[in-house]
Amino acid sequence: MFFFLTIIEERNPTPEAVKDLIKRTKNKKKRKKGKKKKEMAVEEEEVRIEVEAVQAVYGHDCVVLDSFPPHLLLHIKPRTADVCSQQFVEAIVGIQAGLQYPKELPYIYLTESKGLDEQRQKHLLTSIQDKAFELSSCLMLVALCEEAVQKLSVMNHPDGDCPLCLYPLVVEDERGETLPFMKLMSCFHCFHSQCIKRWWNWLQKETQSNNGILNTTNLQPIRDMEYQNGMFGAKKYGDK
């Protein structure tokens, strides 16, 4: 009999019972909402600490546009270049995450690069994106930055064709030695040494035939090369 009456009460609750049920439901939702807010605050703090870690590792090479959600620019250089004359590539990588980071992968892009053609730029981005996918749902900013630096270090060599003769820049002669080349310090473009000498001689003749008026714009690449190698100084890839 008691069991039957209980069922009747549950199916036909009194106003007091309804109010009590509503109150308990609201309190449960508040506790759940408060717990979720607390968890989100903890996650946000962890992300902010991660951004600080990136800044600590890379110093002035890291520019933080937003700490949360994280958005930063990283100026990366190869670790295999101890001196500027041995550096052939560099890039600025952007990493932008959303509010759901690290559950959602960040957007990775290049804002600027030197010494990297389109194919190598794509390879660099793909490597970083693959690393992000591998670390899905984990804090990954430091790891992505390290991946970028490591990949760029592997790419630290001249590539492509000489802009003057359009033949491969790094080729081997009949003795199996690398042909000497020069590098522009401003943009990292490289030329065969013999090609740039011929171009310089041609420019000198053109200057003399034009009443000695020399275009200073044409001189700038030569000035850049003077800074690295001395006038017409031949440099072989791998030389210190």
Q: pLDDT tens, 99-121?
A: 999 999 999 999 999 888 889 99
Task: Please indicate, yes or no, whether residues 62 and 148 belong to a single structural domain of this protein.
Answer: yes
Integer CA distances (angstroms), 184 to 126, 190, 222, in order: 28, 6, 8
Residue 232 contacts residue 193 (beta carbons within 8 Å): yes
Task: Please indicate, yes or no, whether residues 144 and 182 belong to a single structural domain of this protein.
Answer: no
Residue 113 lies in a domain: yes
Beta bridge partners of 178: 172
Among 154, 187, 203, identify where a domain stops: 154
Q: Which domain holds residue 51?
A: 43-154
Give residue-wise pLDDT tens across range 49-75: 999 999 999 999 999 999 999 999 999
The CATH number assigned to the domain holding 146 equals 3.10.110.10
Domain count, the chain: 2
Among 104, 119, 154, identify where a domain stops: 154
pTM of the model: 0.66
Average pLDDT (127-143) is 94
Among 119, 154, 189, identify where a domain stops: 154
Task: Please indicate, yes or no, whether residues 131 and 217 belong to a single structural domain of this protein.
Answer: no
**How many angstroms separate the CA atoms of 74 and 60, rounded?**
9
Long-range Cβ pairs for the range 217-222 (8 Å, 24+): 220/186, 221/184
Stretch among 6-15, 35-44, 96-105, 161-170 having the lowest mean pLDDT: 6-15
Better-predicted residue by pLDDT, 217 or 38: 38
